[in-house]
Structure 1
Amino acid sequence: AITAQSLSTIMTQHQSGLHFLGAVQGPDQVLDASPELFRKQLYAVSQHYKFIIVDIGCDMTALQLGMIEDSSAVILVSTAEVLAINQTRRAMNDLMAATVPGDLFQIVLNMVSRTSLDPRAISQGLRRPIIGSIPQDDNTAYMALQRSTPFVLTAQNTLISAAYHEVVRKLTGGVIQKLKALSRPQNLRSPSLNSPSGQVQGSGAPSSTAIVSKGNRPVDPMTVLKLQIHSELIKEMDLKKDLTSSKGDASKEKELYSRTQRVITQLADKLGHGLARDQRSRIIKEVLDESLGLGPLEDLLSDPSVTEIMVNGCDKIYVEKNGKLTLSTVTFTSNLQLRNVIERIVTPLGRRIDEKTPYCDARLADGSRVNAVIEPLSIDGPAVTIRKFPQDRITPDDYVKRFRSMTQAMVDFLKICVEEGLNIIISGGTGSGKTTLLNVMSSFIPVNERIITVEDAAELQLKQEHVVRLETRPANMEGSGEISIRDLVRNSLRMRPDRIVVGECRDGAALDMLAAMNTGHDGSMTTVHANNPREAVARLETLCLMAGMDLPVRAIREQIAGAVDLIVQISRLSDGSRKILSITEVVGMQGETVTLQEIFRFKEEGFDKNRKIVGTFQAMGLIPTFIEKFEARGVTIPRNLFTSSSSDQGTGSKNPSDTQGSLGGPSRSRMSPTMAPRIQRPNPLKKPGDENK
């Protein structure tokens, strides 16, 4: 802790009562300190002094901006020359673009002479009052330097000392106290009918008119102010044109961001007179995000605990955290701003959304999946659903140790199945984590194989190098030019793929996918919506019938039995966690039925005291029929992998440990220390007969 005694040991104390602490030892050095830590230390020092003056220099780094944010006044010292005044103006504009309130700036002119610019003209040009003009007095200043004593002590009767005392008197006599109000929260008053400017003003006392009504719907005065700023911003700038012209050019985008921020800052000062500093900064950020970014979605997208975002009109944004839905506190300014954000998402992808095509699938730059619906289909305003793509790549270890979604034995089994080219279907309900699991299982594909991915909106992020990503295209304004998943699957067969990975089969593309699996493209994978493996088979039948080929049901079932080797069932449980409920082999046909045998399953056993699901992963004791095929290739899988003793692993215990992640909510686990059986592969460097040596 900083105390008066500790300060006395580090401060240089002058007889005039001034205490000095140097940040660096020379002009060629730069202070390298954490902005957050430095601000905390500076605050602690401020408890022992009435006034603190910090010389921050000319560079505007995060450290300097942090100190400005905590300050009560920013004193800009300039000579009364044209070049110096222009530099001061640029510095003010840069600081205002960084959301520093213009009212904080206090101008002091130094070395003023008879030939200098008129202070009144300077004040008018900078639009700020001049609180002091220090006359040029080279002799007095030189003697003070020679004696290492301030001139206010050695030459008290000079004009330069009198001017200095006048500046101090203005600052300490009311200017700083007035500026301190900018950092204190204030209540906003709604625009008054008697206010010709329509400004939203601050008030130091609570006001009963803090909310105005728009019909029967209450409107936050902050929202009113943001609407006013948006309206004026449209008059000042053509953002749609500017965004289009700067797209893809980093320097132009940066310049547009700075220019827009500067205009918004000026409008906030003009329309929101007397705002508290924290309110002002928040309004500027929100308007800037809505103008150039994704509005209030920006903060939600950067929050790693949020896995899904659902927008129901401009004033209702729900988020999923830990598998549970909650209403967010952030809102859009209006449905118009929400529409602008939707168009900002879909336009770069070559897609459109309007009254003729009022819904659209898209993706964000990070791969997050977006679905948008607008009026007239969405009655209460535009609706947006964003399935966030995890910022950190999810690994198989996460499924075992972090999410407790399966056992290590199950991971090892799936890994060998992918590597050996089994065709796999991932089945699950909406939001169960099918695409995430598909992404993880695709990482098991050998790096020397050519992979073609087909998706509605590209989400898969495979780490292999030899990957071709294909994405569907909607119809154009004339209703032509649509390219569906089925078209891409058929085209991918001509691209010499070793594996075909389809994000989701939801139409007749399932028939083409089965045909690909049956014609030499082993190791392909896809997902379907179904609640259990048997329903997944029925779902595939239905999707194949949608192809319109008039095939008999038995022929379709034979295609399924011949093409699909494994069905992995994943589900989101009632406590928000995701679990692999079943790994099932497709054995073949028996009569008119596709026969299945379950290899692994998750058995629920109830709830613990925290209402988290308790259960056990079990091996069913059945040996997959394809094991002999693997062994013929030299891949040895211990048979005890499929016994309950090697695979039992529960969730829930007397001493649970919380885990959470983007795949699901907290879960409870009692991990078994038993290691999974080792899978042996043939050694390509081992010569025949070596085993006898």
Structure 2
Amino acid sequence: MAEPARIPDGLLARVRQRVAGQGTMPGVAELGALVRDLGGVLGEQDLVALAAVVRAEVVGAGPLQALLDEPGVSDVLVNGPRSVWVDRGRGLEACDVDLGDAARVRALAVRLAAAGGQRLDDAAPVADARLPDGSRLHAVLPPVAGDGALISLRTLRPRAFTLTELVAAGSVAPLVAEVLEALVARRANLLVSGATGSGKTTLLSCLLSLVPPDERIVCIEEAGELGPDHPHVVRLLARRPNVEGAGEVDLAALVRHALRMRPDRIVLGECRGAEVREVLTALNTGHDGGCATVHANAVEDVPARLTALAALAGLSDDALAAQAASALHAVVHLRRDGGLRYVAQVGAVRRGPTGLVVERVLGIGPDGVVSPGPGWAGFAGRWGIAAVGHGAAVGHGAAVGHGAAVGRGAR
């Protein structure tokens, strides 16, 4: 990494004071002029380089901004002043970045949290926020972070991937893309599952981009990460309580409010608590085409995950099975294999003799080979998808369309 331009003593303080007095965030050109006025920089190249560094320090992520700006970077993690890691799609890699000392890392975490509208100090040592550029911040201070402040940054993609792009990248097998298109078009209620960083939000944003433009999508999230390419998306963001314990608006309350907003599709960015009761209730009241994400190891493990979440809401196993079997139609599961994030399973939701069951109807390998399960024919028939015979396997190179093993049926 190139050596950053050195900021003259006192320049940052003068720029921050001027910006605070203006009350608005300066643009790139305005900040460059401000640096010239306050710093006395004469050379044009020096001015551009110094303005970039000052902008990163004033409104960006400081020394981490260059990493966040790199194409392909999804995560930047700070474990300490000289322990910075980045994920460029190949897994985590150590970076040669020196953040100074523990006090500077703490100051950076506090400033970033403030930029996201969150308080971060000894009384509130954990912050989860969305930064002005759309990046997701999670920061932890001592004593909760035992060895010093921890910072986790996840970049926001400038736009949602199209399904065609995900197919080209190997994240979605071509035949599975046909299945996903059919499920969205026929207003199936979908649950997207997978581990952290497996691509759940990316896939969900892509699927929501397929929703007809005359439908209203209400997205409910803790921090706004979903970015579908759709003309009618409204967001509801959860609010944490202040240090006095007042002012909280949780996800469960937002799901209830969403029902009064004339939604065509209700989307819960992540289901990880008692809000599972509200979202299942919403999807059982005629609001088809809804979506949510959940952490799980496989489609077969989703019932156990939902059961654990339902217990937090006071739902019995029988009540969960009845609600979920009626509310949810399909589970799309993602895996991460090295640098590849891909749809690995599609499951059908039903109620069995012993409770809720998610049956694998399609299995997909990292090479794109699609293998149907025993329940595939019934699932395909329900959603108007031309079925592939049991035991067949189709790879990434197979054509989609007339005569393909899996194709979208008549609507």
Check whether TM > 0.5: yes
Alpha-carbon separation, structure 1, partners of 2:336 and 2:300: 18
Q: Alpha carbons of 1:511 and 1:323: their partners in 2 closer, same or farther (altered >3 Å)?
A: farther
Q: Alpha carbons of 1:317 and 1:261: their partners in 2 closer, same or farther (altered >3 Å)?
A: farther
| Alignment partner, residue 394 of structure 2 | 648
Contact 1:311 1:318 in 2 (8 A): yes
Alpha-carbon separation, structure 2, partners of 1:615 and 1:450: 33
Match of 1:556 among 320, 336, 342: 320
Matched, 1:258 2:258: no
| Alignment partner, residue 298 of structure 1 | 65
Matched, 1:592 2:354: yes
| Alignment partner, residue 256 of structure 2 | 490
Contact 2:160 2:228 in 1 (8 A): no
* Structure 1 residue identity aligned to 2:408: I
Contact 2:163 2:206 in 1 (8 A): yes
TM-score by length of 2: 0.87
| Alignment partner, residue 212 of structure 2 | 446
TM superposition shift of 1:278? 9.9
Q: Alpha carbons of 1:418 and 1:264: their partners in 2 closer, same or farther (altered >3 Å)?
A: same
Contact 1:406 1:617 in 2 (8 A): no
Matched, 1:537 2:274: no
Q: Alpha carbons of 1:420 and 1:379: their partners in 2 closer, same or farther (altered >3 Å)?
A: same
Contact 2:159 2:227 in 1 (8 A): no
Alpha-carbon separation, structure 2, partners of 1:279 and 1:242: 21
TM superposition shift of 1:336? 4.2
Contact 2:82 2:96 in 1 (8 A): no
Matched, 1:526 2:292: yes
Match of 2:339 among 556, 561, 576: 576
Q: What's the secondary structure of 2:385's corresponding residue?
A: coil
TM superposition shift of 1:643? 5.0
Contact 2:381 2:387 in 1 (8 A): no
Alpha-carbon separation, structure 2, partners of 1:441 and 1:639: 21
Determine which structure has more spread, i.e. the larger CA radius of gyration. 1
Higher relative contact order (CA 8 A, sep 6+): 2
Match of 2:79 among 305, 308, 312: 312
Pairing 1:243-282 to 2, within 5 Å after superposition: 243-248=19-24, 250=26, 254-260=29-35, 263-264=38-39
Match of 2:408 among 647, 662, 679: 679
| Alignment partner, residue 181 of structure 2 | 415
Alpha-carbon separation, structure 2, partners of 1:366 and 1:290: 14
| Alignment partner, residue 131 of structure 2 | 364
TM superposition shift of 1:411? 0.7
Pairing 1:137-216 to 2, within 5 Å after superposition: none
Which deviations, in whole Å up to 9, do the C-alpha atoms of 1:488-517 show, x marking residues without a partner?
111111212121111101110011111111
Q: Alpha carbons of 1:452 and 1:395: their partners in 2 closer, same or farther (altered >3 Å)?
A: same
Alpha-carbon separation, structure 2, partners of 1:420 and 1:369: 32
TM superposition shift of 1:537? 1.4
| Alignment partner, residue 14 of structure 2 | 237
* Structure 2 residue identity aligned to 1:565: H
Identity in percent: 31
Flag structure 2 segments of 5+ consecutive residues without an equivalent.
none
| Alignment partner, residue 355 of structure 1 | 122
Alpha-carbon separation, structure 1, partners of 2:398 and 2:205: 27
Which deviations, in whole Å up to 9, do the C-alpha atoms of 1:552-580 show, x marking residues without a partner?
2211122122211111110111x221121
Alpha-carbon separation, structure 2, partners of 1:674 and 1:361: 42
Q: What's the secondary structure of 2:74's corresponding residue?
A: strand
TM superposition shift of 1:233? 3.9
Alpha-carbon separation, structure 1, partners of 2:377 and 2:180: 12
Which deviations, in whole Å up to 9, do the C-alpha atoms of 1:382-410 show, x marking residues without a partner?
211112222353111122222x1232111
* Structure 1 residue identity aligned to 2:317: V
Alpha-carbon separation, structure 2, partners of 1:293 and 1:623: 49
Alpha-carbon separation, structure 2, partners of 1:397 and 1:332: 40
| Alignment partner, residue 619 of structure 1 | 372
Which deviations, in whole Å up to 9, do the C-alpha atoms of 1:350-407 show, x marking residues without a partner?
32111111111112334322211122222333211112222353111122222x1232
| Alignment partner, residue 385 of structure 2 | 637
Alpha-carbon separation, structure 2, partners of 1:325 and 1:247: 38
Residue-pair matches, total: 406
Which deviations, in whole Å up to 9, do the C-alpha atoms of 1:588-610 show, x marking residues without a partner?
2222232333221024xxxxxxx
Contact 2:160 2:202 in 1 (8 A): no
Contact 1:264 1:288 in 2 (8 A): no
Q: Alpha carbons of 1:315 and 1:288: their partners in 2 closer, same or farther (altered >3 Å)?
A: farther
TM superposition shift of 1:281? 8.6
Matched, 1:466 2:232: yes
Q: What's the secondary structure of 1:296's corresponding residue?
A: helix
Alpha-carbon separation, structure 1, partners of 2:59 and 2:36: 10
Q: What's the secondary structure of 1:469's corresponding residue?
A: strand
Match of 1:511 among 253, 264, 277: 277
Alpha-carbon separation, structure 2, partners of 1:288 and 1:495: 39
Q: Alpha carbons of 1:590 and 1:280: their partners in 2 closer, same or farther (altered >3 Å)?
A: closer
Alpha-carbon separation, structure 2, partners of 1:343 and 1:534: 41
Q: Alpha carbons of 1:309 and 1:480: their partners in 2 closer, same or farther (altered >3 Å)?
A: same
Contact 2:303 2:357 in 1 (8 A): no
Q: Alpha carbons of 1:674 and 1:520: their partners in 2 closer, same or farther (altered >3 Å)?
A: closer
Matched, 1:322 2:78: no
Which deviations, in whole Å up to 9, do the C-alpha atoms of 1:409-465 show, x marking residues without a partner?
111111111121111111111111111111111112222212110001101112222
TM-score by length of 1: 0.54
| Alignment partner, residue 601 of structure 1 | 363
Which deviations, in whole Å up to 9, do the C-alpha atoms of 1:520-558 show, x marking residues without a partner?
1111101111101122111111111112x3x32211122
Alpha-carbon separation, structure 2, partners of 1:566 and 1:525: 10
Alpha-carbon separation, structure 2, partners of 1:396 and 1:643: 26
Q: What's the secondary structure of 2:369's corresponding residue?
A: strand
Q: Alpha carbons of 1:238 and 1:538: their partners in 2 closer, same or farther (altered >3 Å)?
A: same
Alpha-carbon separation, structure 2, partners of 1:257 and 1:368: 23
TM superposition shift of 1:280? 11
